[in-house]
Amino acid sequence: MSFQDFGFIDPVLRGIEAMGYESATPIQERSIPVILNGSDLMGSAQTGTGKTAAFALPILHKLQAHGACRCLVLEPTRELAAQVETAFREYGKFTDLRVALIQGGVSFGPQRQQIEQGPDVIVATPGRLLDFLEQGEISLKDLQFLVLDEVDRMLDMGFLPQVRRIVEKCPKSRQTLFFSATLPPEIATMTQWVLKNPEVIEIGATRMPADTVTHALYPVAKDQKFDLLLALLERTHYESCIIFTSTKIAADQIAGRLEKLNHAVVALHSNRSQSERVEALEGFKSGKYEVLVATDIAARGLDIAGVSHVINYDVPGHPEDYVHRIGRTGRAKNVGDAFTIFTAEEIDTVRSIERFIQAKIPRQKLEGFEYIYTALFNEQSLTPGGVGKGVRTLKGYSFGARRRR
Ligand code: AMP
């Protein structure tokens, strides 16, 4: 379906063209008419499906031209808020609409200036927005669109009370768009007080990783985890790689050890300052860093183009996080690989992930790596092979010795 078919105003169509989008993705095809119609929406979709444009484009179309603050988008993390704000700016760059980013961790001054300039759209994290709302510096009285994005993450992070206070300050006559990758029972309760007769749109099975991602498990003895990580990095021809760890300490330690071995690496987690987090993400996006070592803060929704590989240094504790983590690669029709290193202690977690995604993840043994024996090797279906071998072959994708710096 072409974007012309939605009847968007010309400046929005030019924004889409400038982004190089040729046709709408499935979630866009289904959500855009609903939003244009004025209905509330409850959408669940896999990561990397084009969800941001699915809500941003019809909102920009309906806002048309600069006026009062009419749209509020709530995001669970500062990184996501920044990403969505950038998307609004880019899609709307041929309109005169103004977008403000309100997030914690940075000083109030510049944000206050953005508010004074009269934004049409505010993209915010809940805490800082509430500060401004409670001091009377932002008014939501003219609000027409409320977007609650990544709601399951918002709940995980304990933002529900703040979100409730914010929703209470919004006019009742608004249109509400609600997105969540997974829909646990708590969210059902929330939808009842936030949404009015929503259209429900579910794209694909939310439990499944995108089918452009090839994933495999690498069993190993605990003492050899770091060595196996190094071997995987050395033998993989990666463009850019995110390594996920379960703790902030582990993220720092691994980044430190890789740095000593001359990898261009940076760590991203919530104990780093806002400026460090921005520098890490920008550096990773620009190619200054080839490896980003991150906790789950980076797993949700972040759109980093060209991540060719994800390595889970630890098996994620929540099965949904597995889907989110490996969803960082293989985005928007590109292909990617995800490797998960795991030890005997983690076998139950692996099984719960397999139950969740309703598929067995192939086990791999890295050829030529000097393994210490682990009982995991007695598991059936362990394929000896190099990195990626024995898994679905990917067109135009190369594996081999890598020494780039
Ligand atoms: P999202 O799911 O919103 O994070 O989007 C994932 C990626 O898909 C982003 O890099 C978008 O720029 C890209 N994208 C969104 N819509 C389209 C489209 N219709 N055609 C091509 N790429 C798109």
pLDDT at 270: 82
Closest CA to 331 of 82, 100, 83, 99: 83
Q: Whose CA is nearest to atom 18 of ligand 1?
A: 21
Mean pLDDT estimate for the chain? 85
* Identity of the amino acid at 338: A
pLDDT at 319: 82
pLDDT at 303: 65
Distance 49 CA to ligand 1 centre (A): 6
Pairing of strands 99-102, 175-179: unpaired
Q: Which atom of ligand 1 sits closest to the CA of residue 19?
A: 12
**Burial readout 225-235 (b: 16 or more C-beta within 10 A, e: otherwise):** beebbebbbeb
pLDDT at 299: 59
Q: Above 50 in pLDDT, residue 240?
A: yes
Least confident piece of the model among 135-139, 200-204, 394-398: 394-398
31 lines ligand 1 (CB under 6 A): no
pLDDT digits (tens, 9 = 90+) for 285-334: 888 999 999 987 765 656 666 678 889 999 988 887 888 777 777 555 45
pLDDT digits (tens, 9 = 90+) for 69-97: 999 999 999 989 999 999 999 999 999 99
50 lines ligand 1 (CB under 6 A): yes
Give yes or no on whether 3-203 and 213-399 have one common fold: yes
Distance 314 CA to ligand 1 centre (A): 29
- Whether 381 and 362 have beta carbons less than 8 Å apart is answered as yes
Return the DSSP state at 387: T
- What's the rounded Cα separation, in Å, for the pair 178 and 85? 17
Banded model confidence at residue 213, pLDDT cuts 50, 70, 90:
low
179 lines ligand 1 (CB under 6 A): no
53 lines ligand 1 (CB under 6 A): yes
Domain boundary assignment for the chain: 3-203, 213-399
Mean pLDDT of 18-41: 93
79 lines ligand 1 (CB under 6 A): no
165: phi then psi, degrees, rounded to nearest 5: -65, -35
- Whether 240 and 307 have beta carbons less than 8 Å apart is answered as yes
Q: Which atom of ligand 1 sits closest to the CA of residue 83?
A: 4
pLDDT at 209: 56
The domain defined by 213-399 carries CATH number 3.40.50.300: yes
Task: Report pTM.
Answer: 0.67
307 lines ligand 1 (CB under 6 A): no
Counting ligand 1 atoms within 8 A of each CB, the residue from 16, 25, 30, 302 with the most, and so the one to mutate, is: 25
Q: What percent of the chain has pLDDT over 70?
A: 84
pLDDT at 398: 26
Q: Above 60 in pLDDT, residue 208?
A: no
Q: Which atom of ligand 1 sits closest to the CA of residue 52?
A: 3
Please report, to the nearest 10 degrees, the dihedral formed by the alpha carbons of residues 376, 381, 384, 388 taken in order: -100
Banded model confidence at residue 188, pLDDT cuts 50, 70, 90:
confident
Return the DSSP state at 377: G
* CATH code of domain 3-203: 3.40.50.300
pLDDT at 296: 79
**Burial readout 161-191 (b: 16 or more C-beta within 10 A, e: otherwise):** ebbeebbebbeeebbbbbbbbbbeeebeebb
